[in-house]
Amino acid sequence: MTEYGQESLWRDTATVDAERARDLAARLERRAKAADEIAARNAYLDLLAIAAGERVLDVGCGSGAVTRELARRVGSRGVAVGLDPSPALLAVARELAKEAGVGDRIEFREGDALRLPLPDGSFDAVVCVTVLSHVPRGEAAIPEFIRVLRPGGRLGVFDLDTDMTAFTHPDRALTRRIVAAASDAMAVNGWLVRQLPSLFQRAGLVDVRARGFFPLETERQSFYGNMADRCAEAAVKMGVVTETEGRAWLDAFHEQEARGPIIAGRLHIFVWGRKPA
């Protein structure tokens, strides 16, 4: 049986040290600042109708990019709670929240998505962004998310579909092999987001809906442009391509960039629903 997620950077962050946490946080912050990411984040938080005065939970908050936006939306009368299993990442998130001027509206707490250290019915909304695809048995978190929602509260999960990754490249066959290998290696379950509407409904949520987003970048030195290197590396480690093939694929990708803007990106899906009142 295939073990997925062997090359995931996010599968187990609970014990990372301060240096590693800052590296991971820098990756998250770089992605968060991309134009398409900002547009997607604004859109899915609008769909979830985050409002002033609410109490909102961000599960797997990482560097706190989404938590900071939640804090801006809930305002001085609300509270955003950022929960993450990594004390080192939470330390960085606190620094960034303070720098952004929203530290007083955020509570950062250590905890596991599968066992939330929070009371029943304590939030108006729960958000989980690009987390569950990296969590073994990530689907088991959904009942926990619903448990901490008040009646009528909303749940939204924004996650990636790893097979739906696009790179400008002349070699279709090799690109497909590398993308498929990276899909299996870089996420524990890169298809989980496809199951979420059904899982939400079976868990008792109503008004379940889904919307797709495809953040793209056109420069080589960008979050998704640099992801090509990670994909090729993962495919080589998985034994799907040789080192020579991986290097040739990357060289061709770099040549495409030298000729003009490239396309690099990945499909994300936002699934949301409401706990019955």
For 172-227, how does the pLDDT look when each residue is reduced to its tens digit (9 = 90+)?
Answer: 999 999 999 999 999 999 999 999 999 999 999 999 999 999 999 998 788 998 99
pLDDT reported for residue 219: 82
For residue 154, give the H/E element and its range.
Answer: strand 149-167
Contact 11, 190 (CB under 8 A): no
Superfamily of domain 18-161+188-216+268-274: Vaccinia Virus protein VP39 (3.40.50.150)
**C-alpha span between 158 and 272 (Å, rounded):** 9
**C-alpha span between 70 and 45 (Å, rounded):** 8
Q: Which tens digit of pLDDT belongs to each residue from 100-133?
A: 999 999 999 999 999 999 999 999 999 999 999 9
Side-chain half-sphere exposure of 109, counting CA atoms within 13 A: 16
Q: Which tens digit of pLDDT belongs to each residue from 65-80?
A: 999 999 999 999 999 9
> In terms of C-beta density within 10 A (0-12 exposed, 13-18 middle, 19 or more buried), how is residue 222 classed?
middle
How does residue 1 score in pLDDT terms, banded at 50, 70 and 90? very low
pTM: 0.95
